[in-house]
């Protein structure tokens, strides 16, 4: 079994207000694709309730860094009370989703993904020595790159959701009257 190290643990993002869920998911997919990650969808779940839709989206994108190392990012998005509502932006009425989002990001590094060093206890010992002392410069650099990617994804999603903060949710749009 390969060795897995947690680099970023439960980086959290909370948001409540108007947003487009499909555009958010596409934005995350494009971000990961641009950085060379392969996508593995673990869970897509949607449930309709009285208060609105509840959605859960869990993906595990991964990127092979070397023959020995692989990056994993665990993205878990929970959407609560998601309803389509009318909103006003630049004096135009648009249909947009409204709800709450909780997003968790985790970053993992997997060493020896092909289990070459797992056959005997002595090899496991050598692998540990190799990772901690000989290959340390590279492992630290891999951890920094993964941490940067996870925090950059967090920041990109924050920027994406900040666009929707300017939308004003209304149930009925009042007629616009010219200023007096």
For the chain, how are helix, strand and coil distributed in percent, rounded to 5?
35, 45, 20
> What H or E segment, with its residue span, contains residue 19?
strand 3-19
Q: pLDDT category, 1, cuts 50, 70, 90?
A: low
The percent of residues above 90 in pLDDT, for the chain, comes to 64
| 157: exposed, middle or buried (Cβ count in 10 Å: 0-12, 13-18, 19+) | buried
73-129 pLDDT, tens digit each = 999 999 999 999 988 888 888 899 999 999 999 999 998 777 777 778 898 888 888
User: C-alpha distances in angstroms, 124 versus 52, 98, 110, 118?
Assistant: 51, 51, 15, 6
Assign 11 to helix, strand or coil. Answer: strand
User: What is d(CA 51, CA 53) in angstroms, rounded to the nearest whole number?
Assistant: 7
Instruction: Find out whether 23 and 174 touch, Cβ atoms under 8 Å.
Output: no
pLDDT at 123: 85
| 164: exposed, middle or buried (Cβ count in 10 Å: 0-12, 13-18, 19+) | buried
């Amino acid at each position: 079994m390969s060795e897995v190290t947690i680099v970023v643990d439960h980086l959290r993002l909370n948001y409540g207000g108007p947003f487009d869920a499909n555009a958010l998911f596409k934005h995350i997919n494009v971000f990961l694709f641009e950085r060379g990650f392969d996508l593995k969808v673990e869970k897509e779940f949607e449930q309709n309730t009285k208060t609105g839709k509840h959605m859960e989206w869990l993906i595990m994108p991964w990127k092979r860094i070397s023959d020995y190392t692989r990056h994993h990012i665990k993205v878990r998005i929970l959407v609560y009370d998601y309803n389509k509502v009318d909103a006003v932006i630049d004096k135009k009425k648009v249909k947009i989703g409204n709800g709450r989002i909780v997003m968790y990001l985790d970053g993992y590094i997997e060493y020896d993904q092909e289990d070459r060093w797992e056959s005997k206890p002595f090899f496991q010992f050598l692998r540990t020595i190799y990772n901690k002392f000989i290959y340390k410069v590279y492992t630290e650099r891999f951890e920094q790159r993964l941490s940067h990617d996870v925090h950059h994804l967090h920041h990109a999603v924050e920027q994406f959701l900040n666009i929707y903060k300017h939308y004003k949710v209304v149930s009925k749009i009042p007629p616009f009257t010219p200023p007096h």
